[in-house]
Amino acid sequence: MGRNKRKNNSPLQRDESKSRRTADENVDDVDADGCSQGGQEDQIAELKEFIRNENARSNKSLAQEIRRCNEERLTAIETSLSFAMAANETMAKRLVEVEQRAQRAEENLAHCARRLCLVEEQLDDVQQRELQDWLIFSGPAIPRRSQSGRNEDSSRLLYAIIHQHMGYEMDVAQLREVYRDERQIRVRFSAVGAGSDRYHMVRNKTKLRGTGLYIRERLTPFRQKLFNELMRFKMARQISTVFTRDGTVFAVVGRRDQPRPVRTEAAMERLIRQLMDIELDDRQQMADQDSRRARAIEPEEASRSGTTPARQEGPALATGGDTERSAERHTEQHRPVPAGDRVGAEREEPRQSVGDGVMAVEEAAAELPPADSPPPAGSGSGFGSLSVSGSGGAWTGRRRAPSVGEPQRAPSDGEPRRAPPGGELRAPPGGRSGGCDGRPSAAAERAPVVGEDGRLQALAPSKVRQRFRGDLRQFVTVHSKSD
């Protein structure tokens, strides 16, 4: 038996067969991969379509759900609003009814108030008519009631008082009731009309002025209250007079006004408003008068401050030599104020600053020419004129020349020294010219020199500077004391 012979394959053959098998396997794998990729794309497309359908279905359901919820909410809101509108309509109707009732209540209250006032007036008139036949006699003319004379005859006492002070013989038979108090006698008369004793005494009670005896009618408490208030107005000089006639209170506002009855509180309020209006008008008139008086005084004060050296010197120095500005400030400081502001104006007086005045004077002194410079041209020209120039302006004072026949008097300190006909000033006997040490006094040095022709002689610049410094020292001293 023969044995199977094994085939011997060379390595090259084995590699070829292996490569052949590998190529076949790769071809199979390529076919399988192409099939798998096509299936995945189909699945992806189906999945996208499913997702798209689901999204559309969910969006539709969501929109329907939102629409349903909105409709339910709108329905609930409409229901609540309809209920609120119904409630508001009901409340509006009730409010209208309440307003109508309140208006009717106010009308009824006003009507009741008017009726009450009318009833009170009628009741007051009835009470006053009951007191119509009463008179009250009071005053210092009635003697005090003595403790021992408790049983004195008041009627005879009243008869004697009336006969003494009025000169009228009263009929004691017309005295119905007589009540004696400490300093007054209340009398009730039986007759009230014209021709009766009561009528005569009421009409002629003005004859009792200065006698200490007063006659007044007996009033109700309400009318007595009105009378007392009007008497306070009279004491304050807001009304002219107040009196009663047949139980009615009358008030006269002005001397030329007619008497006006005051029976109710409304009439009293109207009178008070009228008095307030009159007071406001008076204050306005006073303010207008003060302003007109101030405007009339301004030019006069300005002219005085511009022509009087003694009044002009201080303000001119304080303003640096500006005469017009100092005159305006002087006028404003002394301008009268209205009556309502006089108290504050008296407490706060305008005061000048010493530092400002000193600075202004120092600036003016710096502008002066040196002592060795010649005097300016025309410094001695003009009728009695003296000019001192500063940094802010000039001050000019004028002196009146003595008239013919006028008696000569010795000049005092501060007055100009008049030169004799020779043209030079002489010292008084003893070799002194005013000072204790033989030197002229400060006032004499500051006084300008007047020649025989009545003109002020020009001074040297050194004298001007010296005088200016003296005025500065005097100004600072005076204002430091006032401050």
Q: What is the pLDDT of residues 257-294, one digit of tens each?
A: 999 999 988 899 999 999 999 888 888 888 888 888 88
245-254, 281-290, 292-301, 326-335 — which is least confidently predicted? 326-335
Q: Does 387 score more than 90 pLDDT?
A: no
Residue 17 has pLDDT above 90, yes or no: no
Q: Which of 219-233, 301-315, 330-344, 465-479 has the lowest mean pLDDT?
A: 330-344
**Distance between CA atoms of 402 and 477, rounded to whole angstroms?**
34
Is pLDDT of 8 > 70? no
pLDDT above 90: residue 182: no
Taking residues 391-405, report their average pLDDT: 42
More confident residue, 291 or 421: 291
Instruction: Indicate if 450 and 359 belong to the same structural domain.
Output: yes
**What range does the domain containing 167 cover?**
132-218
Mean pLDDT for the chain?
A: 71
The verdict on 479 and 358 lying in the same domain is: yes
Report residue 223's pLDDT band, with 50, 70 and 90 as the boundaries: very high
Q: How many structural domains are present in the chain?
A: 3
Domain boundary among 127, 155, 174: 127
Tokens of 113: 């108030």
In this structure, the answer to whether residues 136 and 194 fall within a common structural domain is yes
- The answer on pLDDT for 469 being more than 90 is no
- Residues 203 and 168 both lie in one domain: yes
- Give the span between the Cα atoms of 268 and 125, in whole angstroms: 17
Question: Looking at residue 3, what is its pLDDT?
Answer: 55
Distance CA 211, CA 154 (A): 20
Give the model confidence (pLDDT) of 28-81 as tens digits.
555 555 556 777 888 888 888 888 888 888 888 888 889 889 999 999 898 888
90 and 168: one domain? no
pTM of the model: 0.45
Predicted local distance difference test score (pLDDT) of residue 461: 60
